[in-house]
Amino acid sequence: MVEAERMRVSVIGTGYLGATTAACLSELGFEVLGLDVDEAKIDMLRSGRVPFFEPGLDELLTANLGTGRLSFTTSFAEAAEFADVHLICVGTPQRDESGAADLTYVQSAIERLAPHLTRPTVVVGRSTVPVGTAATLTARLHALAPVGEEAELGWSPEFLREGFGVEDTLRPNRIVIGTDSPRVEKAVRELWRQQVDDGVPFLVTDLQTAELVKVSANAFLATKISFINAMAEVSEAAGADVIQLAEALSYDDRIGGKFLGPGLGFGGGCLPKDIRAFMARATSSASSPRCPSCARWTRSTSAAARARSTSPGSSSAEASPDARSRCWAPRSSPTPTTSATLPRSTSPRPSPRWARE
């Protein structure tokens, strides 16, 4: 049983997400053990040095190492013995030219942790994974853990922005947990009790919805960037000012100004990778015989995206006519009408203040 008053946490993976999460949870008062297979990285963290730059993280790390609430290890057996809740925070890089997510590290974390779980335990994934991953990992966790189904898994996506990781962890704008287990929900509520008490929305969903939340957010932000870049071309052809156009749009509460600055497109560590993985997963899902129109739409959109990357002068790719009848849901669901707008590359323009805030 996970008891709130004695709950201890392991964070598996000490990259950007894991190190930030471990230090912030220590700051919230939890005893935290960070785990990584990279001994050099663990030695660096033990000495109070962060292997990347994130404002405020060095100070949190040093302070909480000093209190004794934060420590680091390379031993899965030690982590299993120590913690009541295990957070999976390993990377999911792009696997190959298909764009699919490489789940090697996530799978390895479960494979190496599970055999040491000899008492009821909560495991919570925070890594960004394709929809359906958590269900597969749950089955594997139950098969490998000596405690069997008493090792329960949930999924709680992260929403950290580079440069704001500490702020976004300590003061998130929402907390999502995918689970049907009261024990998992209770453990995650206890982790973020202070934030929930301060009014941060706490959403409980099924596993699949939780897995989709992060990639859906990234896809929407990429769509805004792609849209305003497409409008930059229209503005240029029409003799209009796209900066003023974007500002006018930003005052509409339904649209807002964030991610509405025209420029070269989007980059960073997550947006391109997660969208490629989303497209690869959608292609896989669309191959189902019950959804042939979705398969055709996804294939045409993926082909357009590939062509788009080698043809910078072309305009936004259009989805095939079958997009109007595609479905990723049961046939009883409403059928949306959409077209695909893909990333654009335009002349560099400075983003106005309202688009950066």
Provide the 8-state DSSP code for 28: T
SS3 for 43? helix
Please give the single-letter amino acid code of residue 278.
F
Contact 12, 86 (CB under 8 A): yes
As a whole number of Å, the CA-based R_g of the chain is 22
Exposed/middle/buried for residue 1 (C-beta within 10 Å: 0-12, 13-18, 19+): exposed
* C-alpha span between 14 and 148 (Å, rounded): 27
* Max Cα-Cα span within the chain: 69
The yes-or-no answer on residue 294 being catalytic is: no
Catalytic residue among 270, 291, 294, 327: 270
- Count of H-run helices and E-run strands, the chain: 14, 8
SS3 for 287? coil
Q: Which residue, among 6, 17, 13, has the nearest Cα to 57 in the 3D structure?
A: 17
* C-alpha span between 277 and 194 (Å, rounded): 34
Residues listed for the chain? 357
Lookup result for tokens 């688009």: 355
> C-alpha dihedral over 128, 129, 135, 140, to 10 degrees?
-100
φ and ψ of 70, to 5 deg: -120, 130
Could you give the residue numbers annotated as active site?
Answer: 270
